[in-house]
Amino acid sequence: MKSIRVLLAGESWVSSSTHYKGWDFFQSAVYETGCEHLAQALKGAGMQFTHLPGHLAAVDFPMTLDELNAYDTIILSDLGANTLLLHPDTWQHGKSTPNRLKLLRDWVLQGGSLVMCGGYYSFAGIYGQAKYYRSPIEEVLPVTIFTFDDRVETPEGAIPVVEDPSHPIVQGITNPWPALLGYNELTLKPDAQLLLSINGRPLLAVRQAGAGKTLIWASDIGPHWCPEPFVKWDGYARLWVQAMNWMVNG
């Protein structure tokens, strides 16, 4: 069986700080990524994992169906819709460029495998600014996205509930699952399969869309919503390896 080719777009950020020391001050910036645990899990299973950081995605995310076909599964995680819509040729130079949200939808309908993971810039996101609602991406996902800020913070911890223990993605993962510290609030579509719920909302769901498949994971793939006890739990790696295998091989 050939190695599964996975592209993760997003999961990076730059933080800027101002430090005050009495009368004086200075500024610093740091670049960070949040996909290390997922990358380790998939690479450990022999998959070809490629990370496209958010600051590069506007230019380097695939622009054609042929370029998308270089991958078996595309994961969008903490990457707002504007990054895919506003190529610099359009944003800075007023030129027409492909609508990559429509391109992804068409790729799925023709047999592609698309995953959206949760975060502050996934689904609707913080202040609703991720803006995947009413988009071509929403058309193929297993869920309907709210048009407002959909983040639910659960600092006390919320335990995932297995809704379909026989499904290959969650099969063999033992209860109890570790707690999550937040998620995006979503509504399941009638033709989707719910595998995990959290506080009565979809956490993990899948859907057949045309010839392709889509999956949503409504929480982070790493801290803060997906904390250290979760990512270091044996079930974390098993979940993602089984998810990628099912999405591509059925």
The model carries a pTM of 0.96
pLDDT of 250 reads: 84
Which of the pair, 174 or 212, is modelled with greater confidence?
212
Which of the four pLDDT bands, split at 50, 70 and 90, describes residue 1? Answer: low
112/71 Cα distance (integer angstroms): 9
Bridging pattern class, strands 73-77 and 24-33:
unpaired
Which of the four pLDDT bands, split at 50, 70 and 90, describes residue 166? Answer: very high
Question: Under DSSP, is residue 141 helix (H, G, I), strand (E, B) or coil?
Answer: coil
Q: In the predicted model, what is the mean pLDDT of residues 1-12? A: 93
Buried b (16+ CB within 10 A) or exposed e, 120-136: bbbbbbeebebbbbebb
Q: Angle 234-249/36-44 helices, nearest 10 degrees?
A: 60
153/201 Cα distance (integer angstroms): 13
Continuous segment of H or E residues that includes residue 153 = strand 151-158
Which of the four pLDDT bands, split at 50, 70 and 90, describes residue 2? Answer: confident
Long-range contacts of 173-176 (CB under 8 A, 24+ apart): 173/235, 173/238, 173/239, 174/235
